[in-house]
């Protein structure tokens, strides 16, 4: 098994892998990371056709989640049960996800030439039945519709939360951030730390992620760590769709059950709120597009 480690500064919130991920498992964060870790082992696993990986069993104390990012694979329970899954597009297809407790032992087998997973694990000795969440199990939620001139319209795909998985220590989902629009907006915060892992419709795509008063330029394969209690919001650069996987770990005696909006921006939640528009109309010059020419 090939294992790689993500290079970073000790207190950095932005973890970069601009060159992509190598074959095998690349660790991005660890459960013991501090002071701004999210309390999870998170990494990317790249597999090749015919390769198998064992999950769970007596040697582990962690529940684990495998989110399929690309390719075709099989989950194998013993020698009797096989479940085949596939995904070709993060942007056009809802996620397929395997969630198992620490006591379940099974295998993941690559069927296509290349298979990529986001793998999340955290300590949890609770027993629960393994489950595969398929695209038809995920209800898209188009948050921000009708608010702020639709500038924060996005597709939120909740995979599971405390309601669906009360014995899990995790909550996770995906967001499809449309080009030039915001998500996690108005800015919000919660006590639990969070991870965002990014992909873009073009390799040169980028966006900006806010953590408190800091702004980070996020690009392909980046991961942003958000400490608990910090306001956060995201925006994608025009021309580029932005995907991010979001991961929250429950705190002891304080499970994640939602968030609070930053008070000074909460007025934008009113669909009737009056927002400034230029006197000549909301899109002056829209009928005659032209490329801006640089000046000296």
Cβ pair 89, 68 in contact under 8 A: no
User: pLDDT value at position 116?
Assistant: 98
Cβ pair 219, 211 in contact under 8 A: no
User: pLDDT value at position 8?
Assistant: 39
Average pLDDT of each block of 10 consecutive residues along the chain (296 residues)?
Answer: 40 86 96 81 97 82 96 84 93 96 92 98 93 95 93 97 96 98 96 97 97 96 96 98 98 93 95 88 62 52
- Degrees (nearest 5) of the Cα angle 140, 259, 11? 105
- Degrees (nearest 5) of the Cα angle 152, 116, 82? 115
- The domain spans of the chain are 3-269
Whether the ω angle into residue 186 lies within 30 degrees of 0, i.e. cis, is yes
Rounded distance, CA 110 to CA 91, Å? 22
Residue listed under structure tokens 């009113």: 270
User: pLDDT value at position 81?
Assistant: 77
* Structure token pair of residue 13: 């919130």
Q: What number of CA atoms fall less than 13 Å from residue 226's CA on the CB side?
A: 29
User: pLDDT value at position 58?
Assistant: 66
Cβ pair 46, 95 in contact under 8 A: no
The domain made up of 3-269 has a fold known as Jelly Rolls (2.60.120)
User: pLDDT value at position 251?
Assistant: 94
What is the per-residue pLDDT across 74-105, written as a single tens digit (0 to 9) for each?
Answer: 998 766 678 999 999 999 999 999 999 998 88
The model carries a pTM of 0.91
């Amino acid at each position: 098994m090939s294992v790689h480690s993500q290079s970073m500064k000790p207190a950095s919130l932005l973890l970069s892998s601009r060159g992509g991920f190598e074959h095998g498992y690349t660790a991005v964060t660890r459960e013991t990371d501090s002071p701004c870790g999210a309390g999870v082992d998170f990494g990317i696993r790249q597999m090749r056709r015919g390769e198998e990986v064992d999950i769970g069993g007596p040697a582990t104390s962690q529940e684990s989640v495998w989110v399929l990012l690309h390719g075709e694979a099989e989950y194998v329970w013993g020698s009797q049960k096989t479940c085949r899954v596939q995904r070709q597009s993060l942007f056009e297809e809802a996620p397929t996800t395997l969630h198992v407790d620490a006591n379940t032992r099974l295998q993941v087998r690559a069927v296509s030439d290349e298979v990529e997973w986001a793998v999340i694990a955290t300590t949890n000795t609770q027993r629960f039945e393994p489950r595969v969440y398929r695209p038809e199990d995920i209800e898209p939620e188009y948050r921000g519709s009708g608010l702020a001139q639709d500038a924060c319209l996005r597709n939120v795909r909740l995979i599971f939360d405390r309601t669906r998985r009360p014995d899990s220590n995790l909550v996770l989902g995906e967001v499809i951030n449309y080009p030039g629009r915001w998500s996690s907006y108005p800015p919000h915060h919660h006590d639990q730390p969070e991870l965002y892992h990014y992909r873009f419709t073009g390799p040169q795509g980028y966006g900006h992620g806010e953590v408190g008063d800091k702004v980070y330029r996020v690009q392909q394969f980046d991961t942003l760590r958000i400490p608990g209690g910090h306001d956060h919001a995201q925006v994608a650069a025009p021309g580029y769709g932005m995907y991010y996987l979001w991961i929250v770990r429950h705190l002891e005696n304080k499970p994640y059950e939602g968030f609070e909006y930053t008070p000074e921006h909460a007025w934008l939640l009113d669909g009737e709120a009056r927002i400034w528009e230029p006197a000549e109309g909301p899109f002056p010059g829209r009928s005659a597009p032209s490329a801006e020419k640089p000046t000296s």
